[in-house]
């Protein structure tokens, strides 16, 4: 089956033949994106997680293509969503810090899909701005506030109406859930007795850690139940067979070494794709993809024209359809610590097997305020971290974890496929020198392509300029 014999809309003008191809909108694929919030990808069973119960995601995976090497460029809610919706890396769309903004002229999903005949909606957490750059139709029913305690009960009526409103018109809908973002208050922690948990190696084993991890797992299971409910709404609409479903876990959880880092547990994301009759079910791929690639892929699936001059990503539709086994050779990451703590810029690149990390201010101590500080209500946020610090004097492993988090060398290199939690830094290994140099050179090339000035980007002046829709240093070559 060649690329243009698929039952997909090819919305194109046949200029060479001097004719216009009229396509029925009903032949276009729908797209449903379901996003978790702050969920470390390998805490999910489909990626080897040993604790979380996720029957709905497991069922979806059996019907889908599972991407084993999917990444986002920045392990923060706002930058990664801006990347997903714009097809551009953080420096290019302008949202390179949390709680900042993309450039006013940024074009996102609605700008690209509405001309192809799509209704484009978003339910739940938005967390991108300015509004003109992300003009989604607001779909009610899911909580937009990721720190509400407890989360507002969701109502499926809004997405049911949106999906079923006009069966002959294709839709793009993102349902952005707010679990398992902190505070971990949803679900039933009794499903996860603290003494029975198998903590991953990047989390210190203290009673506070076990309690927090239990509550986090309960929220994953609660999130999983919502995934099942959303898919049931789609099934009841009768449109499952013509809908590309994408589930993704966003960045890592709010545990040290996950969110707000460039370690794999920060920037590696779950990506599961179901499209009956198009995507091979029950399969996996090691193709490297990034969030920036998702929008070009959807445009490609809808038969639209991809203007490569405005995207950092590229279509992996051929991987989705089982026609290719590879996509991009490298995935890239960036971290600017402001406004979540003192300046601490980081950059990374991975080839899927090895990850190279460059810490641009290695003489500084890494501090992230949500982990170490106090909330506005005067209560300690994430009190398990204090239990780590307390135990450093009596437990060597905990001491190493705290030191690993706070004090980082200029370069780090990990054999991620053999060391998935990236605990063994190989940057000084003579045996791995050529790998470090190869990835370091690739990172230099990417930073130059992005107009990335490095440490100068993580400054108050640069952040404030970005909040005004400007950019002090970015220059697209």
Query: The pTM is what?
Result: 0.93
Q: pLDDT above 70 covers what percent of the chain?
A: 91
Residue 409, pLDDT > 90, answer yes
Omega of the bond leading into 180 within 30 degrees of 0 (cis): yes
For residue 267, the SS3 value is helix
What pLDDT sits at residue 246? 98
Q: Are 414 and 422 in contact (CB under 8 A)?
A: yes
- Using alpha carbons only, what angle is made at residue 146 by residues 199 and 263, rounded to the nearest 5 degrees? 45
Q: Are 243 and 302 in contact (CB under 8 A)?
A: no
Q: What is the mean pLDDT of residues 17-33?
A: 64
Instruction: Report the residue count for the chain.
Output: 477
What pLDDT sits at residue 381? 57
Omega of the bond leading into 150 within 30 degrees of 0 (cis): yes
Q: What is the mean pLDDT of residues 267-283?
A: 97
- Using alpha carbons only, what angle is made at residue 144 by residues 141 and 147, rounded to the nearest 5 degrees? 130
Residue 215, pLDDT > 60, answer yes
What pLDDT sits at residue 10? 40
pLDDT band, very low/low/confident/very high, at 5 (cuts 50, 70, 90):
very low
Residue 284's contacts (CB-CB under 8 Å, 6 or more residues apart) are 65, 66, 67, 68
What pLDDT sits at residue 372? 63
Residue 19, pLDDT > 90, answer no
Q: What is the mean pLDDT of residues 196-204?
A: 97
pLDDT of 87-103, one tens digit each?
999 999 999 999 889 99
> Distance between CA atoms of 251 and 259, rounded to whole angstroms?
6
Distances (CA, A) of 239 to 27, 235, 249, 303: 12, 6, 24, 19
What pLDDT sits at residue 471? 74
Q: Are 65 and 272 in contact (CB under 8 A)?
A: yes
> Distance between CA atoms of 184 and 199, rounded to whole angstroms?
17
What pLDDT sits at residue 475? 55
Average pLDDT score, the chain: 91
What pLDDT sits at residue 26? 64
What pLDDT sits at residue 157? 98
The dihedral through the CA atoms of 110, 277, 177, 458 has a sign that is negative
Omega of the bond leading into 474 within 30 degrees of 0 (cis): no
pLDDT band, very low/low/confident/very high, at 25 (cuts 50, 70, 90):
low
What pLDDT sits at residue 383? 78
The dihedral through the CA atoms of 460, 463, 465, 467 has a sign that is negative
> Distance between CA atoms of 298 and 244, rounded to whole angstroms?
9
pLDDT of 366-396, one tens digit each?
998 877 654 444 444 567 898 999 999 999 9
Element (H, E) at 227: helix 207-236
Residue 314, pLDDT > 90, answer yes
The dihedral through the CA atoms of 53, 195, 209, 413 has a sign that is negative
207-236 helix and 384-391 helix, angle to the nearest 10 degrees: 150
Location of each CATH 3.40.720.10 domain in the chain: 25-332
**Superfamily assignment of 25-332 in CATH?**
Alkaline Phosphatase, subunit A (3.40.720.10)
Lowest mean pLDDT among 136-145, 177-186, 379-388, 453-462: 379-388
Q: Taking Cα atoms as reference points, which of 459, 455, 417 lies closest to residue 435?
A: 417
Q: Taking Cα atoms as reference points, which of 329, 327, 287, 248 lies closest to residue 81?
A: 248
Residue 7, pLDDT > 50, answer no
pLDDT of 33-81, one tens digit each?
999 999 999 999 999 999 999 999 999 999 999 999 999 999 999 999 9
What pLDDT sits at residue 468? 79
331-335 sheet: strands from edge to edge: 331-335, 346-350, 354-359, 411-415
Q: What is the mean pLDDT of residues 240-252?
A: 98
pLDDT band, very low/low/confident/very high, at 431 (cuts 50, 70, 90):
very high
pLDDT of 445-465, one tens digit each?
999 999 999 999 999 998 888
> Distance between CA atoms of 80 and 74, rounded to whole angstroms?
6
Residue 96, judged by CB atoms within 10 A of its CB (0-12, 13-18, 19+), counts as buried
pLDDT of 114-126, one tens digit each?
999 999 999 999 9
What pLDDT sits at residue 223? 98
Q: Are 142 and 177 in contact (CB under 8 A)?
A: yes
289 beta partners: 70
What pLDDT sits at residue 197? 98
For residue 383, the SS3 value is coil
For residue 95, the SS3 value is coil
């Amino acid at each position: 089956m060649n690329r243009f014999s698929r039952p997909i809309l090819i919305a194109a003008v046949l200029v060479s033949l001097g004719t216009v191809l009229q396509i029925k909108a009903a032949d276009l694929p729908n797209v449903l994106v379901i996003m978790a919030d702050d969920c470390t990808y390998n805490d999910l069973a489909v990626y080897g997680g040993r604790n979380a119960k996720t029957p709905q995601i497991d069922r979806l995976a059996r019907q889908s293509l599972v991407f084993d090497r999917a990444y986002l460029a920045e392990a923060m809610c706002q930058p990664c969503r801006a990347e997903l919706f714009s097809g551009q890396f953080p420096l290019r769309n302008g949202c390179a810090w949390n709680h900042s903004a993309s450039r006013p002229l940024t074009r996102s999903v609605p700008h690209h899909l509405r001309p192809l005949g799509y209704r484009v909606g978003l339910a739940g957490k938005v967390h991108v701005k300015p509004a003109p750059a992300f003009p989604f139709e607001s779909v009610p029913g899911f909580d937009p506030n990721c720190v509400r305690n407890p989360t507002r009960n969701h109502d499926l009526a809004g997405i049911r109406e949106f999906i079923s409103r006009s069966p002959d018109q294709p839709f793009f809908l993102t349902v952005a859930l707010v679990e398992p973002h902190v505070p971990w208050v949803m679900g039933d922690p009794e499903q996860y007795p603290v003494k029975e948990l198998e903590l991953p190696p990047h989390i210190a084993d203290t009673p506070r850690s076990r309690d927090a991890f239990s509550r986090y797992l309960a929220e994953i299971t609660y999130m999983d139940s919502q995934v099942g409910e959303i898919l049931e709404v789609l099934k009841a609409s009768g449109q499952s067979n013509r809908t590309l479903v994408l589930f993704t876990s966003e960045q890592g959880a709010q545990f040290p070494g996950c969110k707000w880092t460039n370690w794999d547990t920060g920037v590696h994301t779950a990506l599961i794709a179901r499209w009956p009759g198009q995507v091979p079910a029950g399969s996996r791929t090691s193709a490297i993809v990034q969030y920036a690639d998702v929008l070009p892929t959807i445009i490609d699936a809808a038969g639209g024209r991809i203007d490569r001059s405005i995207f950092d990503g590229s279509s992996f539709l051929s991987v989705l359809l089982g026609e290719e086994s590879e996509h991009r050779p490298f995935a890239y990451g960036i971290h600017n610590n402001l406004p979540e703590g003192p300046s601490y810029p980081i950059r990374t690149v991975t080839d899927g097997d090895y990850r190279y990390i460059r810490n641009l201010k290695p003489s500084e101590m890494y501090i992230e305020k949500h982990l170490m500080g106090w909330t506005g209500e005067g209560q300690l946020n994430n009190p398990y971290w204090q239990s780590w610090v307390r135990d450093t004097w009596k437990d060597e492993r905990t001491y190493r974890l705290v030191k690993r988090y706070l004090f980082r060398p200029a370069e780090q290199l990990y054999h991620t496929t053999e060391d998935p939690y990236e605990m063994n830094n190989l940057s000084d290994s003579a045996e791995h020198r050529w790998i470090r140099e190869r990835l370091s050179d690739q990172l230099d090339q990417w930073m130059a392509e992005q107009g990335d000035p490095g440490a100068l980007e993580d400054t108050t002046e640069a952040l404030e300029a970005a909040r005004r829709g400007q950019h002090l240093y970015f220059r697209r070559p």
